DNA sequence: TTCATTTATATCGCTTGCGATGCAAATTAA
DNA sequence: TTAATTTGCATCGCAAGCGATATAAATGAA
C-alpha cells in the first residue's frame, strides 16, 4: 500500500475508490451466481427474495423490503414476475386490506432444495474460507450500518 | 460470530450471505453518493466514467469498459446521455473507423474541480479511516480477482 | 483480390433500482 | 362522526446492466 504512505495519494483515482470496488464486486458476484440461478429459472434479486421467504413466508411487501433495503416500487413488479412464474402467491390481507401478503407456492418451496448447495458451490469456486468471508461480511455490515443512519 | 462455531450454520440464511452484504453495500453506497452527484448533475455510473476520463481521455469505449467491467451495451447509451449533457464528445477514430473515442468537453473537465472534495466528504460522513478503507478494498479486490478468472 | 473471420460499437428486449406521485385503507384528531 | 394524516402498495418514467444479436470496419487466409 504505497499509496497510503505516499504524499501523492490521488483521491479521485479509480484505483483508490472503495466505492467502485464494492460496485464492481456486486456486479461480478451477480454474474458469478447467474449460471446457478439460471438452472433454477430465477434472477439474483429474485434469489434474495427467496432467501427471505424460505425463512418465513406470508409476510408483507414492506417486510421483505426492510430486509433487502428495497422499496415497493422495486418489489411490486419483481414480485408480480415471481407470481407469473408461479413461485409465489400475492394475497390481500383480511385484517388490513392495504397489505399484500406473499406466500410461497409448492414450486417456490421446492426450489429451496435445488438451491441448497449454491452457497457451498460459491465458496468452492471462489476458493473462499468461511471465516474470512464472514470477517469481510462483518466489515461491510459496519459500513452498511453507517450508511443507514 | 457464534454462527461460525455453531453446528447449525445455515448457508441459505440471508444474514449469512456475503453476496447480499456486497449487493446491499453497493446500492447504499450509490444512494450515499447521490446528493453530492446531484449537485454535479450526474449519476453514479457516470461518475465512474468521469473517474476514468479525468485520468486519461480520448480513449475507446472498450477501454472504459475494461476498467469498469462494463460492456458496450451498457456504455453506449450511458455515453450518449453524457454527450447529450455536453460533458463529453464521441468522435470516430480516423485510423480505425470502428472505434469511437471519448473526449471530455471543457464542461466535463471543469467538473473535476467540483468533484475534488467528494472522496474526502465520503470518508468524513462515513467516519472512515483511510487505512481501514484501503484494507477492506484490498480484500474485495482479491475477491474480484477470483471472479474474473 | 475475394471471402471469411475478427474486432469495435450499437441495437433490442428484458429486469432491476429508484424518485416522484397516486390511491385506497387504516388511523388519528377534532 | 367527520376530516386530516399516515400507512402500504402500486404506477410512471427514466437510467442502468446485460444477454442476444446486428452491423460495419479491419484483418487474415485462400
CATH number, domain at A85?
1.10.10.10
In a domain, A133, yes or no: no
In a domain, B7, yes or no: no
Q: Could you tell me if A139 and B20 are in contact, meaning their C-beta atoms sit under 8 angstroms apart?
A: no
Rounded CA–C1' distance between B75 and C14, in angstroms = 17
pLDDT of A143 reads 97
pLDDT of B98 reads 97
Coil, strand or helix at B7: coil
> Is the predicted pLDDT of residue B7 greater than 60, yes or no?
no
In a domain, B67, yes or no: yes
pLDDT of B1 reads 47
Asked if the Cβ of residue B98 lies within 7 A of any atom of strand D, the reply is yes
Q: Which domain holds residue B110?
A: 42-115
In a domain, B75, yes or no: yes
- Is residue A128 very low, low, confident or very high in pLDDT (cuts 50, 70, 90)? confident
Average pLDDT value for chain B: 94
DSSP-derived secondary structure for B9-51 = --TT-GGG-HHHHHHHHHHHHHHHHHHHHHHHT--HHHHHHHH
- Is residue B8 very low, low, confident or very high in pLDDT (cuts 50, 70, 90)? low
C-alpha cell at A46: 429474485
How large is the average pLDDT for residues B87-109?
97
Q: Which class for B129: exposed (0-12), middle (13-18), buried (19 or more C-beta within 10 A)? A: exposed
> Is the predicted pLDDT of residue B77 greater than 90, yes or no?
yes
Among candidates A3, A30, A55 on the partner chain, residue whose Cβ is nearest the Cβ of B14: A55
pLDDT of A149 reads 84
Q: What is the pTM of this model?
A: 0.94
In a domain, A47, yes or no: yes
The residue assigned the cell 390481500 is A92
Does residue B7 or residue B89 have the better pLDDT? B89
Asked if the Cβ of residue B42 lies within 7 A of any atom of strand D, the reply is no
In a domain, B108, yes or no: yes
In a domain, B95, yes or no: yes
Does residue B5 or residue B58 have the better pLDDT? B58
In this predicted model, what pLDDT tens digit does every residue of A7-30 receive, in sequence order? 568 999 999 999 999 999 999 999
How large is the average pLDDT for residues B77-90?
98
Q: Where are the beta strands (DSSP E) in chain A?
A: 59-60, 88-92, 100-104
| R_g (Cα) of chain A, nearest Å | 19
Contacts of B14 in chain A (CB under 8 A): 48, 51-52, 55, 67
pLDDT of A7 reads 55
**Measured CA to C1', what is the nucleotide nearest A80?**
D10
Backbone angles phi, psi at B59, to 5 degrees: -105, 160
Q: Which of A146, A143, A65 is nearest to B22 (CA)?
A: A143
In this predicted model, what pLDDT tens digit does every residue of A63-114 receive, in sequence order? 999 999 999 999 999 999 999 999 999 999 999 999 999 999 999 999 999 9
- Is residue B3 very low, low, confident or very high in pLDDT (cuts 50, 70, 90)? very low
What is the number of domains present in chain B?
1
pLDDT of A9 reads 80
pLDDT of B2 reads 47
Rounded CA–C1' distance between B71 and D20, in angstroms = 13
C-alpha cell at B148: 474474473
In this predicted model, what pLDDT tens digit does every residue of B117-135 receive, in sequence order? 999 999 999 998 999 999 9
Q: Which nucleotides of C are covered by protein (CB under 7 A)?
A: 7-13, 15-21, 24-27
In a domain, B32, yes or no: no
Amino acid at each position: 500500500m504505497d499509496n497510503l504512505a505516499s504524499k501523492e495519494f490521488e483521491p479521485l483515482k479509480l484505483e483508490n475508490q472503495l466505492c467502485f470496488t464494492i460496485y464492481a464486486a456486486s456486479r461480478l458476484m451477480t454474474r458469478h451466481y447467474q449460471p446457478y440461478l439460471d438452472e433454477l429459472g430465477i434472477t439474483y434479486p429474485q434469489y434474495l427474495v427467496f432467501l427471505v421467504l424460505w425463512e418465513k413466508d406470508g409476510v408483507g411487501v414492506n417486510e421483505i423490503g426492510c430486509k433487502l433495503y428495497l422499496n415497493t416500487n422495486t418489489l411490486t413488479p419483481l414480485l408480480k414476475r415471481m407470481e407469473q412464474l408461479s413461485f409465489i402467491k400475492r394475497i390481500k390481507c383480511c385484517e388490513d386490506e392495504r397489505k399484500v401478503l406473499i406466500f410461497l407456492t409448492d414450486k417456490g418451496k421446492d426450489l429451496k432444495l435445488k438451491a441448497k448447495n449454491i452457497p457451498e458451490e460459491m465458496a468452492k469456486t471462489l476458493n473462499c474460507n468461511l471465516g474470512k468471508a464472514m470477517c469481510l461480511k462483518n466489515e461491510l455490515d459496519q459500513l452498511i450500518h453507517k450508511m443507514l443512519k
